[in-house]
Structure 1
């Protein structure tokens, strides 16, 4: 997490809202002082192996997936793999450019140490977003499907994601107030809502059928309103569950891995071609999201050499909302988001103004011990530290990502035990 300051074109800049030690006081950053730390590929190899192996095993060996569909998914995976290396190469280039434009910050969680005085390039999520779109467009070009509805929804999904990337980057540059941020995803989802041609019905849980009198309820336009609200929540929930090196991307790749596993399981357990296509659609967007995110995580893992910015968090949230909506598993997606829901509930008093909300709701860093201590701010990060005691930033991030993985595992257990009884 960093404090960043926009370049000002006025002769009388606004007074600083924070101590001058956190401000950008340099007009330009010369190329000869810019040295980006090498990517942590060993760490990424371990993480990607843990997260991707089960998905590929289920797809290639465990389930009898139709050959053509499996080939299409593997082609998408191959393109995503290429996207990983492209992102890896483009991040240092983009980092140099954003530093030239004074888009950098200082790591507040390392304040008082030499690492806390290093200028860290900001908003590198733009690289992930652009490469993701390129991979998705190339895949669409070579995917010879005759389903016109699929193409319309796919293009609408890319339009919504592209719009969100643009708005996220605008936020990084202009520092948009958080109340405006809440509304931005609503506009970004308009292409998706207009092109959505799927069902607008929900299956009533079996224990409630006797009270409702229906097994299936058609919500009509209310369902589209629900879709829009889901996009708003997913986009902003990742944005506020942040502040540690690797946390924003880490929670995304863990959740993306769970989404991929869920999609393959649903394809393998069903014989409905339309159902297969809906979950394949989700895979086609989730695989490039995960691959490009892992490349950025190689630079953002502790100690971070780049910051992802709001560009990445809103892009990742919108992408997962889109795949949940068009893959028809929004309820499952919300269970995957249990840590984000908990963080949002804890944040509500500060977000609505009941409790004073500081600019940075980060834990307190002790330079002498190198440990983080929880503050009274209502975030999952601070509450975790208050419950379990001070921890290093890296250790805390790993604990929270394990919690994210456990939430996803809980979702699979819940679906297994409730299958046939709940729905």
Structure 2
């Protein structure tokens, strides 16, 4: 790999770090704050951290496009890159709307997927990805026009909305995203999809920078703009690198979380119930989220569960799934 490509990764990290550092006081002045529900005192924390992460990712990707175009004279992948950027921008706007209006007006469970459908259009119109996929029983099957018209939008809308569900703990969303993106990036690199690996590397760098502020105790929350954005990136890189099976495996926690939330008709909250010492308890008699299962499991093992332990347990589970998924391709 040309060392100059590392500059794109560095730009993503530095821009995200700088913008996050500046966004925190600016958002406080603007009143863009929420309560940390997993703390007994429920301290106020700045929201909409996705603004800074978006800036870092765009900076890194655009610099990478510039290198390909003017220095390496290789613009063959630029169409895919710009389609990915377009998807990121469209879906992040929807997320920001959800951030700004969600607490007061609230986007319904129907409105959220409907509003994110347009974000799939850039990837659909360029016919991104490979129409030949492995299906159970049938094996390798060429879906033809059904791939861009059906699989791509379902993948992007599903990943964005699914990633948005498992959230609400310091470092959880950014940590899960970092692990998932890094896994896809490594598989992409090893299977010859170097351009996709660069998208993943640029995204991972931005997530690392954001985690410095979002890790326990968080100074900033990611917000819906962040979760929609990261979910859509996971979908886009999986489509471009033809690693849809890996994406399905690493999304298992989100499938489980959806099934548990469906028991409450999507009304239960992801948060735990903090006690006076700051440890978390299961908020309901039944399990209505994967984090509730993790809280109860940790309590059974250790006697009490902290927010950090819940997050680290979730991240460990995700790392295991990434390792399992990688064996499919390596």
Q: If the length of structure 1 is used for normalisation, what is the TM-score?
A: 0.71
Contact 2:160/2:232 (8 A) holds in 1: yes
Q: How does 1:76-87 map to 2 (within 5 A)?
A: 76-87=5-16
Aligned-partner SS, 2:77: helix
**Number of equivalences:** 317
C-alpha distance in structure 2 between counterparts of 1:158 and 1:138, whole Å? 13
Provide, for residues 103-122 of structure 1, a one-character-per-residue CA deviation record: whole Å limited to 9, x for no partner: 101111113x3xx23x2111
In structure 2, distance between residues paired with 1:399 and 1:361: 15
**What is residue 166 of structure 2 aligned with on the other side?**
241
The answer on 1:139 being equivalent to 2:64 is yes
CA offsets 1:13-69 (integer angstroms, 9 cap, x no match): xxxxxxxxxxxxxxxxxxxxxxxxxxxxxxxxxxxxxxxxxxxxxxxxxxxxxxxxx
Say yes or no: does 1:314 pair with 2:228.
Answer: yes
- For residues 183 and 349 of structure 1, the distance between their equivalents in structure 2, rounded to whole angstroms, comes to 22
Pick the aligned partner of 1:284 from 173, 188, 198. 198
2:120 is aligned with 1:196: no
Give the match's secondary structure for 1:342. helix
| TM-fit CA distance, 1:201 | 2.0
Alignment map for 1:233-382 (pairs within 5 Å): 233-267=158-192, 279-350=193-264, 353=265, 357-358=267-268, 360-367=269-276, 369-374=277-282, 375=284, 376-382=286-292
Worse-matched range after superposition: 77-86 or 322-331:
77-86
| Residue equivalent to 1:23 | none
Q: 2:88 aligns with which of 140, 143, 161?
A: 161
> Does 2:311 match 1:397?
yes
Q: Counterpart of 1:174?
A: 101
Alignment partners' CA distance in 1, 2:189 and 2:262? 35
Task: Select the residue among 92, 95, 99 that pairs with 2:24.
Answer: 95
Structure 1 residues 96-154: Cα deviation after superposition (integer angstroms, max 9, x where no partner): 2222221101111113x3xx23x211101111012211211121012136666522222
Q: CA deviation at 1:287?
A: 0.9
Determine if contact 2:123/2:152 at 8 Å carries over to the other structure.
no
**1:133/1:162 contact within 8 Å kept:** no
Q: Which moved more, 1:369-378 or 1:309-318?
A: 369-378
Shift of 1:216: 4.1
Tell me how far 1:398 sits from its aligned partner: 0.8
The 8 Å contact of residues 87 and 119 in structure 2, kept in 1 or not, is answered as: yes
Distance in 2 (alpha carbons) for counterparts of 1:264 and 1:391: 38
User: 1:126 aligns to what?
Assistant: 51
Matched, 1:388 2:298: yes
State how far apart, in whole Å, the 2-side matches of 1:148 and 1:85 are. 25
For the pair shown, which has the larger CA radius of gyration, 1 or 2?
Answer: 1
Query: Are residues 179 and 377 of structure 1, via their aligned partners in 2, closer, same or farther at CA, if it must alter by over 3 Å?
Result: farther
TM-score normalised over the length of structure 2: 0.89
Rate the CA distance shift 1:396–1:203 in 2: closer, same or farther, 3 A: closer
Shift of 1:386: 2.3
1:83 is displaced (CA, Å) by: 2.2
Q: Which moved more, 1:158-167 or 1:78-87?
A: 78-87
Cα distance in 2 between the residues matched to 1:177 and 1:94: 28
Q: What stretches of structure 1 of length at least 5 have no aligned partner?
A: 1-69, 268-278, 417-423
Gaps of 5+ in 2: none
Equivalent residues of 1:339, 1:404 under 8 A apart: yes
Task: Choose the corresponding residue for 1:228, options 150, 153, 156.
Answer: 153
CA distance in 2, matches of 1:77, 1:339: 32
- Cα distance change of structure 1 residues 341 and 172 upon mapping to structure 2, 3 Å threshold: same
SS of equivalent residue, structure 1 residue 110:
coil
